[in-house]
Amino acid sequence: MPKLPGVNHLEAIRALEKAGFRIVRQGKKHIVLSNGGRFLTVPRNNPINAFTMGGIAQDAGFTVEEFRKFL
């Protein structure tokens, strides 16, 4: 699994919004985003675990290098 260490959840949300995702709903511990076809759940942890962030990038359809461009 690819890794993206040290990403703040707010930075991750902004990067995903740049990539075309929009916030669908928010809870106390997670934020759900969608681009119309995919749904992503981002935890409100600071920083987000490196493996978790790599998985989120992969679920969004990006490689780690592609996702870093949005950060």
What's 59's domain CATH number?
3.30.920.30
Our count of domains for the chain comes to: 1
Q: Within a domain: residue 45?
A: yes
pLDDT digits (tens, 9 = 90+) for 4-51: 888 999 999 999 999 999 999 999 999 999 999 999 999 998 999 999
Residue 50 belongs to some domain of the structure: yes
Q: How confident is the model at residue 66 (pLDDT cuts 50, 70, 90)?
A: very high
Residue 53 covered by a domain: yes
Domain that residue 28 falls in = 9-70
User: Does residue 2 sit within a domain?
Assistant: no
Q: What is the pTM of this model?
A: 0.90
Tokens, residue 11: 């930075």
CB contact at 8 A, 2 and 60: no
In a domain, 52, yes or no: yes
Per-residue confidence (pLDDT) for residue 41, from 0 to 100: 97
CA distance 1 to 22: 25
